[in-house]
């Protein structure tokens, strides 16, 4: 399952050269991942209230071309790995108007309790993630 999310670049996200600052890309990834989770039926805020956190354990970004102020970006977020305690989401960022690839990346997360101790993914989350991965394998 590929979740598509659109973001319009705000002026404050750009640097002196007029391009999106590299530190903003993880925020874009987070927004796309949050909406992917919502599309799978889970709000991060609800999971946190129930005592499950998904701290970031690894991130990678490959920049192709900088986005600029007022560009509309399409982020594709897709779950690509799933373990009992960990998962990975891959990202693809394109310029909506042309489809030009701007960046790719990934994030890995661990499932923890509020004390940041590892815990198995909640059953309903694991089931939804598994179904999303199965859907991808059929496409």
Question: Which positions are annotated as active-site residues?
Answer: 15
Burial annotation 47-82 (CB, 10 A radius, 16+ → b, else e): beeeebbbeeeeeebeeeebbeeebebbbbbbbeeb
- Pairwise CA distance, residues 139 & 91, whole Å: 18
Of 47, 17, 32, 16, the C-alpha closest to 128 is 47
Q: Are the beta carbons of 73 and 107 closer than 8 angstroms?
A: no
């Amino acid at each position: 399952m590929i979740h598509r999310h659109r973001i319009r670049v705000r002026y404050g996200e750009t640097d002196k050269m007029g391009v999106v600052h590299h530190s903003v890309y993880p925020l874009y990834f987070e927004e796309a991942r949050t909406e992917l989770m919502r599309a799978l039926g889970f709000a991060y805020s609800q999971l946190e209230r129930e005592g499950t956190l998904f701290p970031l354990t690894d991130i990678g970004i490959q920049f192709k071309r900088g986005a600029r102020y007022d560009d509309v970006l399409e982020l594709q977020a897709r779950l690509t790995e799933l373990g009992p305690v960990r998962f990975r989401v891959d990202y693809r960022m394109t310029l909506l108007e042309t489809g030009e690839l701007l960046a790719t990346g990934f994030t890995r997360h661990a499932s923890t309790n509020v004390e940041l101790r590892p815990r198995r993914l909640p059953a309903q989350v694991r089931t939804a993630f598994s179904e999303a991965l199965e859907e991808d394998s059929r496409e």
